[in-house]
């Protein structure tokens, strides 16, 4: 049997290795806790929408996981035994202030969805999409899938984006 090092393969077929790594499923990404920052009761719809990212290993809940908070560099180190907290706020006039109905703020780990956005499907699109910006740590978009903003299914493009952003390829 001829042994070829993974390093050598990566040199010859970089795209093939990248694809292979992406194909491996990883069941242990950080736990994500969603917190409603105002007084409104936590709607199960937010967690349901965010769960569109579950195939990548993230576990979403409104409850504390008991795990320590993730270090700021968790994406680079591949730390998974930790909890990310994402705050959800529903400001009354986001569109007037920011010209958008939903946005993700990386600094405060907060997603804001205009309070007037109440249609369940649009709320789900916005939640899944903005949560994606925070867990992937990027402002990038895809043409289809969750990071297009108009889908609740993880596309290959979403997976490729996640692979580029997170150390342990999901
Ligand atoms: Zn976006």
Whether residue 70 is contained in a domain is answered as yes
Whether residue 34 is contained in a domain is answered as yes
Q: Ligand 1: distance of its center to the CA of 103 in Å?
A: 7
Q: Ligand 1: distance of its center to the CA of 33 in Å?
A: 20
DSSP code, position 157: H
| Percent with pLDDT over 90 in the chain | 72
Report the C-alpha gap between 90 and 61 in whole angstroms. Answer: 19
Whether residue 21 is contained in a domain is answered as no
DSSP code, position 68: P
- Mean predicted confidence (pLDDT) in 119-125: 95
Band of residue 1 on the pLDDT scale cut at 50, 70, 90: very low
Report the C-alpha gap between 63 and 116 in whole angstroms. Answer: 26
Q: Ligand 1: distance of its center to the CA of 168 in Å?
A: 23
Residue 46 has pLDDT above 70, yes or no: yes
State residue 170's pLDDT score. Answer: 52
Whether residue 6 is contained in a domain is answered as no
- Mean predicted confidence (pLDDT) in 58-80: 93
Whether residue 52 is contained in a domain is answered as yes
Residue 50 has pLDDT above 60, yes or no: yes
CB atoms within 10 A of CB 59: 17
The residue among 62, 73, 69, 55 whose CA lies nearest residue 33 is 62
Whether residue 19 is contained in a domain is answered as no
What is the crossing angle of helices 156-165 and 120-136, to 10°? 30
Q: Ligand 1: distance of its center to the CA of 146 in Å?
A: 9
Q: Ligand 1: distance of its center to the CA of 169 in Å?
A: 22
Q: pTM of the full predicted structure?
A: 0.82
Average pLDDT, the chain: 85
How far is residue 55 from each of residues 107, 117, 170, measured CA to CA in Å? 26, 27, 9
CATH of the domain at 77: 3.40.390.10
Report the C-alpha gap between 29 and 140 in whole angstroms. Answer: 20
Whether residue 22 is contained in a domain is answered as no
Number of domains in the chain: 1
Whether residue 147 is contained in a domain is answered as yes
Structural domain containing residue 32: 27-165
Q: Ligand 1: distance of its center to the CA of 9 in Å?
A: 35
């Amino acid at each position: 049997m001829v042994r070829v090092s993974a390093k050598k393969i990566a040199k010859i077929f970089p795209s093939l290795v990248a694809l292979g790594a992406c194909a491996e499923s990883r069941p242990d990404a950080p736990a994500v806790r969603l917190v409603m920052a105002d007084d409104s009761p936590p709607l199960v719809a937010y967690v349901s929408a965010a769960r569109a990212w579950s195939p990548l290993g993230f576990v979403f809940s409104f409850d504390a996981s008991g795990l320590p908070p993730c270090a700021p560099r968790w994406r680079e180190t591949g730390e998974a035994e930790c909890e990310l907290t994402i705050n959800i706020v529903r400001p009354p006039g986001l569109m007037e202030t920011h010209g958008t109905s939903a946005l993700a703020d990386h600094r405060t780990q907060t997603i804001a969805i205009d309070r007037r956005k109440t249609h369940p499907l649009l709320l789900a699109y916005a939640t899944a999409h903005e949560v994606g910006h925070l867990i992937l740590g990027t402002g990038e978009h895809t043409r289809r899938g969750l990071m297009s903003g108009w889908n609740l299914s993880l596309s290959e493009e979403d997976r490729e984006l996640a692979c580029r952003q997170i150390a342990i390829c999901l």
